[in-house]
Structure 1
Amino acid sequence: MPEWLHEAGIGEERAILVEGATILAARIDWGEPLRPGHVAMARITRRIAGTRRGFARFSDGTETQVDSLPPEATEGREIRLRVTRAAIAEKGRTKLPQARPAGPDEAERPAPTLLEALRGEGHPVRALRVTDRDFDRAGWHELVEEAFSGEVAFAGGSLAISPTPAMTLIDIDGPPPLPALCLAAVPAIAAALPRLDIGGSIGIDFPTLPEKKDRQAVDTALADALGAWKAERTAMNGYGFVQLVARLERPSLPARFARDPLGAAARILLRQAERVAEPGVLHLAAHPAVLRAITPAWEVELVRRTGRQVVRDERPALALAAGFAQALAS
């Protein structure tokens, strides 16, 4: 039976849904304050005429879009809101968080942690120490590599996953025959969506299939492969394009890594450092920009958790994701 596993890392929480030795789904939380479930008072700054939508500002100055505003929620008035979607950071801009008026019985509260959110959704979750090996046995390193590169290999081809301001685009690449390539890509796409926590508007660019029967075969296979994954779906058009629209509550893994690759690489390096078993000084070797992305608070937490001295080693020739941690004799 699938089981959620959770790690409380430095600068992030991470969770994977595992069945056997396979990651079925994953989530990462970087601790942004306005996440789904956050309830607080906010002041309406603008209403969009003729609609129930508008904008509001929380006490910390953070702005949010608001849906389902009641008529009495006029500009300048305070209202209790519940955040329904975190901010979605993209290249060049950030989509504001989204919120709705909170229910009359909802008290103000911070957003739940990832562990609390999973348990609140009714999932059984097993909290692990970062030094446990369950994540690694399930393929965490491979998943992180997919999120960083946007490349997902499958038998006969590969997927290229690209977050854009409009949607997440998935391109299929591989040799002919094209009908067979498209059908081979379908299970890889269906598996990649929850594995990489992809939601919102998703465009799948299959190779063009001139024959209607081939397009219909792909549509049927995709519907079967998606199964209970909830999304609206269009049929494949004559150019091979399919669009999915699913619920969006937080950035996908590829979107997070594309927007902040230095922060992602720094968190990966810190996880490696926590897992070093050999005695000695913790030696962090990475690109200088990655080491600069490790905040003083994160380094203090690493020292507290490991009880070790930490030494930074700048290696400009290393790729962002190629940093490593090791123990060296002092």
Structure 2
Amino acid sequence: MPEWLTEEGVGETRTVLVDGGEIIEARVELDDVLPAGRTLEARLISVGSTGRNAIAVTADGTEVLLPRAPQATEGSTIRLTVTRARIPGSEPWKRPLARLAADEEAAVTERPSATVLAFPPLPGRDRLAEEGWDELLEQARSGVVRFDGGELRISPTPAMTLIDVDGQLPPTELAVRGAREAAKAIRRLDIGGSIGIDLPTVGDKAARQLAGQAIDDILPKPFERTAMNGFGFLQIVRPRRRASLIELAQDRAAFEARALLRRAASAKGAIRLAVHPAVAAALRQDWAEALSRQVGGMVTLRADPTLTMSGGYAEAS
């Protein structure tokens, strides 16, 4: 039976939907990012132009973009609801998006009702690892999702997330199977916005329709999609509330730092984190302090350029 699980770790909160020993859907919320659904007050600093792209700033200095400008003067305080969290990575101008909040609207969270897991995980009872969390992180960092007879290669671009389907199966079978696996990966890796899927070229219209139906059977509503064209391309547009795991992994050093903090949180006493220099630079002081409280001892760093970005580990200090 499907079950939502959530784990409040150091630097991020991880929420997954699991079923039959598999992660069906995963969401990661960074602690320092305004989440979608949050309602708060902010000061309007620019009304934008022609009724679009106003900018407000929150009490902690976070700039928020309102695609539809409110009927308010610059300098006034407005109440807004975040509709999309900030997208980190190579496009720092992608600020949180928001709309003017309704008068009666209360602060909400988009997190589903879930079983809260102990953090750090109890010895021998790491539910996320048992359900495939480490494999999910590897898919996010590599962008490669393998399945029987083929694989997906997922690439985020400024315009859309592209998914290339390749494999050894006959083209018609690969198109349908690839569409199904792409839809599963979209859900599992929390990919939203505009998505392009490049499937094998299939001349048979019935097979192209089966590929589209495979996506419809996997992806939950709401979303829109085109039909698969004669060149094997199909486009999907679905809500984008936060950065996907693929996008989070583009900020590689911080991504690996948070993954290491999860692994190290089960240690006891003073520890030293051996990490790649880039990961050492990404490890924030407040994260180290939170980890120190978890393990009950001082946390220090040892930068080791021979380690891979994902190869960090904790050792006795």
Is TM more than 0.5 here? yes
- CA 1:283/1:61 → structure 2, altered by over 3 Å: closer, same or farther? closer
Deviation of residue 192 (structure 1)? 1.0
Q: Is the CA contact 1:56–1:64 (under 8 Å) kept in the aligned structure 2?
A: yes
Alignment of 1:68-217 (within 5 A): 68-69=68-69, 72-106=71-105, 117-118=110-111, 121=112, 123-132=113-122, 133-217=126-210
Aligned partner of residue 145 in structure 2, secondary structure = strand
| 2:243 corresponding residue in structure 1 | 251
CA distance in 1, matches of 2:147, 2:281: 36
Are 1:310 and 2:310 counterparts? no
Deviation of residue 79 (structure 1)? 2.3
Q: Is the CA contact 2:200–2:232 (under 8 Å) kept in the aligned structure 1?
A: yes
Q: TM-score, normalised by structure 2?
A: 0.90
Q: Is the CA contact 1:35–1:85 (under 8 Å) kept in the aligned structure 2?
A: yes
- CA 1:307/1:248 → structure 2, altered by over 3 Å: closer, same or farther? same
Residue-by-residue CA offset, 1:91-141 (whole Å, 9 max, x unaligned):
24432221111111246x6xx6xxx542xx5x2433322223111110110
Q: Is the CA contact 2:15–2:28 (under 8 Å) kept in the aligned structure 1?
A: yes
- CA 1:57/1:300 → structure 2, altered by over 3 Å: closer, same or farther? same
| 1:42 corresponding residue in structure 2 | 43
Aligned partner of residue 321 in structure 1, secondary structure = coil
| 1:284 corresponding residue in structure 2 | 273
Q: Is the CA contact 1:42–1:57 (under 8 Å) kept in the aligned structure 2?
A: yes
Residue-by-residue CA offset, 1:234-266 (whole Å, 9 max, x unaligned):
0011211111111111000110111x1100111
Deviation of residue 4 (structure 1)? 1.5
Residue-by-residue CA offset, 1:251-286 (whole Å, 9 max, x unaligned):
00110111x11001111111111123xx66423222
CA distance in 1, matches of 2:215, 2:47: 42
Q: Is the CA contact 2:271–2:300 (under 8 Å) kept in the aligned structure 1?
A: yes
Structure 2 counterpart of 1:252, one-letter code: S
Structure 1 counterpart of 2:79, one-letter code: R
- CA 1:161/1:42 → structure 2, altered by over 3 Å: closer, same or farther? same
CA distance in 2, matches of 1:32, 1:38: 16
In structure 1, list runs of 5 or more residues that go unmatched: none
| 1:267 corresponds to which of 235, 255, 258 | 258
Quote the RMSD (CA, aligned, Å): 2.2
Aligned partner of residue 88 in structure 2, secondary structure = strand
Deviation of residue 57 (structure 1)? 2.0
CA distance in 1, matches of 2:3, 2:266: 23
Q: TM-score, normalised by structure 1?
A: 0.87
Give the number of aligned pairs. 312
Aligned partner of residue 79 in structure 2, secondary structure = strand
Deviation of residue 188 (structure 1)? 1.5
| 2:311 corresponding residue in structure 1 | 322
CA distance in 2, matches of 1:297, 1:89: 19
Aligned partner of residue 44 in structure 2, secondary structure = strand
Q: Is the CA contact 2:179–2:199 (under 8 Å) kept in the aligned structure 1?
A: no
- CA 1:309/1:39 → structure 2, altered by over 3 Å: closer, same or farther? closer
CA distance in 2, matches of 1:195, 1:232: 18
Farther-moved stretch of structure 1 (196-205 vs 283-292): 283-292
Deviation of residue 221 (structure 1)? 2.5
Deviation of residue 175 (structure 1)? 2.2
Aligned partner of residue 47 in structure 2, secondary structure = strand
CA distance in 1, matches of 2:61, 2:284: 23
| 2:288 corresponding residue in structure 1 | 299
- CA 1:312/1:86 → structure 2, altered by over 3 Å: closer, same or farther? same
Identity, in percent, stands at 42
Deviation of residue 198 (structure 1)? 0.9
- CA 1:281/1:89 → structure 2, altered by over 3 Å: closer, same or farther? closer
CA distance in 2, matches of 1:288, 1:243: 39
